[in-house]
Chain A
Amino acid sequence: MTETAAPDYHQMWAELGLDLPTHDALLQAVGSMYGDAYLTQANRPKGTDYLDFVLSEVHGLRIKELADFRKSGGKVFGTFCLYVPEEIIRAAGGWNVGLCAGAEFAYDQVEQIMPRNTCALIKSATGFKLAKVCPYFESSDLVIGETTCDGKKKAYELLGKMHNVWVMELPQMKRPEDLAMWKAEIRNLVKKAEETTGTTITAESLRAAITEVNDKRRALRRIAATCTADPAPISGKDRLLATQVAFYDDVPRFTQMMNALADELEQRVANGQGVAPKGAKRILVTGTPMALPNWKLHDIIEKSGAVVVAEEMCTGSRYYTKLVAEDGESVDAMLDDIAEKYLDINCACFTPNQGRIDDVIQMAKDYHADGVIDISLQFCGLYEMESHNVEQAVRDAGFPVLKITTDYSMEDVGQLSTRIEAFLEML
């Protein structure tokens, strides 16, 4: 940690109502986790400097930008899940940000209002709110939830007592009648967003938002594509971080910086320059999302000498692979395009969910994976249950699979290291 005169944001945090001593402790903990996981990496691409900068200012500069935006009348929407279309929020003149989770925080308080055996994602997000340490939550004029699992549904009821929360209904199947319902729900979101910002969505603003968000996804796709090369030019950890940052950062700036990173990575591939030696074991990770600062699995895998070449998860390919069609001519047509793109995300909350299994196998082939690690957050019934089918299908396709159930705690790092190292030895 350098002691240069970093701007002091305490005043701003106090105005947001954060609990300052607890928040200071959180920042320190995240800083040291980041240092250990990220700054120890060798052969990092230069373009990751931007990610380092964003992380160093994750509760600073970015929150100030949100505060300035709100002072000028802008509205901030906090979201938890991929199914909430950011295009609509942006078209209505709002900004959306992902909310904090990914670390064990204030579980003692959480367990007063939720069962202990709730998944880490829900407990963590709730903990950040109860302990008043998530400036994104506190900067959100409206939090948009979604009915992707039973735990979240009930959590939004609890969070709704503490914050302005609105919940979208997501179907559980992908039949035509489900799509029709989802299209209607997308229109409900339009109404809610317009009501919140006071700005009506036009064909022009919606088209601009679709292009802008597609461009962000295209930049992430370029980065991902470079990892089909051996050696991979960037670590899985850094790619994961880029995806995590995509949920928070200013969209045009992030897109520009990620395209610059992709330029560098494409050059590294051309030069045969890797983050690990050519021939290092290549791992595809699939499963539950990894909210910032959850870097645990990638850290263990890559410190064991392998490279994570892709993630089939919400903080991975599910976020950036599919684009919204760009040829919609009316608001209505574009909203339908948005509905179709978003319903096409393959989350375990759908039944059946063969699309995810097909994606995992296709990605394992495309990225020349030596093995697949399927990770479920403990007590995530959906992913834990789906894990068996994923394992069987991926094994049948000829890829070794390691199944892991874990959470954000560090107590099982020893056991996980042994299992992951043994898996790598086996490949």
Chain B
Amino acid sequence: MRVLGLDIGSRTVDALWLTDGDVADWAVADSGYDPGSVAAAFAGREHVDRIVATGYGRHVAKERLDAEVVTEIKAYALGAHALFPHAASVLDIGGQDTKVIALGVGGRVVNFEMNDKCAAGTGKFLEVMARALGFELQEMASSALSAPSGVAISSMCTVFAESEVTGLVHRGEDLGRVARGLHESIAKRTLSSLKRVGAAGPLVFAGGVAKNAAMVALISEGFEGEVLVPHEAQTVGAYGAALCAAIEPNGGADG
């Protein structure tokens, strides 16, 4: 049986195909301004027996592609559990969401937390800050890593933090230290969220921001327990959705 998992997020659309439960192929594309069509292009690539969609665009996929839907929470829990069966928790920092999930037996969701309506501390936040500092994303991460210490950033609101950063730049503050301060403030917020849901190690750190070496280093430093970063951190949600399509009798879809 060939199935497709789609994770239609705010920044990227991730697709992952399984053949009889094994990963056959995967792909990532920018969401652009019409993520539904990006997802449709993946779905139209070849015949599949079943599609399960997750992410912000899941309900659009349900209408356009007749896909079943699961939330990102369940998809990430399943994907992370399949990659690391001994994982006890998941952290996913995506384009505009941060999710922390405590896992139970078999990758079951025991507790979770998501950020509220603003994009503070997410991938989008880092993108905006990189622009304010004149860095490429990876460049910002590496300069944060090599800075000896961070400047304290008091604001987590993307808009306020941007003005705070601009102020620091104008004061002649070292850009690497500012970059490190930004990463530290996200790590601090994320670690307290992990504490609140009772996340134990090993922790699977997934989502686009898990590709950021500075974030991985800071989370690993602050978390009591092992931190595991999947090789393709961005496709964990799509993998989980595909597993739903392959394993569960009706995809676990909730309508």
Contact = CB atoms under 8 A, between A and B. Distances in A.
Interface stretch (B70-78, B153-161, B173-181, B223-231): B70-78
Q: How large is the interface on A (under 10, 10 to 19, 20 to 34, 35 or more residues)?
A: 10 to 19
Nearest to B115: A415
Contact of A422 (B73, B108, B115, B116): B73
A425 B72 contact: no
Contact of A412 (B112, B117, B252, B255): B117
Contacts of A422: 71-74, 109, 112, 114
A426 B117 contact: no
Nearest to B56: A414
B114 A419 contact: yes
A108 interface: no
B254 A424 contact: yes
Interface centre among B56, B73, B117, B252 (most CB of A within 10 A): B117
A155 to B, nearest CB: 24
Contacts of B254: 304-305, 421, 424-425
Interface string B33-70: 00000000000000000000000100000000000001
A405 interface: yes
A411 interface: yes
Contacts of B73: 418-419, 422, 425-426
B97 interface: yes
A411 B118 CA distance: 10
Interface string B234-255: 0000000000000000001011
Given A421-B71, A422-B72, A425-B252, A415 B114 contact: yes
B-side binding surface: helix, strand, loop or mixed? Answer: loop
Given A305-B255, A415-B116, A418-B114, A425 B56 contact: no
B217 interface: no
A375 to B, nearest CB: 13
Interface string A382-405: 000000000000000000000001
Contacts of B116: 405-406, 412, 415
Contact of A426 (B110, B114, B115): B110
Nearest to A420: B71
Given A426-B109, A426-B110, A415 B97 contact: yes
Contacts of A421: 71, 254
Contacts of B56: 414, 418
Interface string B109-135: 111101111000000000000000000
B97 A426 contact: no
Interface string B189-216: 0000000000000000000000000000
A405 B114 CA distance: 12
Interface centre among B56, B70, B116 (most CB of A within 10 A): B116
Contacts of A412: 116-117
A418 B10 CA distance: 13
Nearest to B114: A419
A415 B109 contact: no
Interface string A5-20: 0000000000000000
Given A426-B109, A426-B110, A418 B255 contact: no
A415 B116 CA distance: 7
Contacts of A305: 254-255
A184 to B, nearest CB: 43
A419 B70 CA distance: 11
Interface string A53-95: 0000000000000000000000000000000000000000000
Contacts of B111: 426
Contacts of A425: 70-71, 73-74, 109, 252, 254
A418 B71 contact: yes
A411 B108 CA distance: 30
A14 to B, nearest CB: 39
19 contacts: A304-B255, A305-B254, A406-B116, A406-B117, A412-B116, A414-B56, A415-B97, A415-B116, A415-B117, A418-B97, A418-B114, A419-B114, A422-B71, A422-B74, A422-B112, A425-B71, A425-B73, A426-B108, A426-B112
The 7 nearest A-B residue pairs measured at CB: A422-B73, A412-B117, A422-B71, A426-B109, A421-B71, A425-B74, A305-B255
Given A305-B254, A424-B254, 17 more contacts: A305-B255, A405-B116, A412-B116, A414-B56, A415-B114, A415-B115, A418-B73, A418-B97, A418-B114, A421-B71, A422-B71, A422-B73, A422-B109, A425-B252, A426-B109, A426-B110, A426-B112
Interface of A: 304-305, 405-406, 411-412, 414-415, 418-419, 421-422, 424-426
Interface of B: 56, 70-74, 97, 108-112, 114-117, 252, 254-255
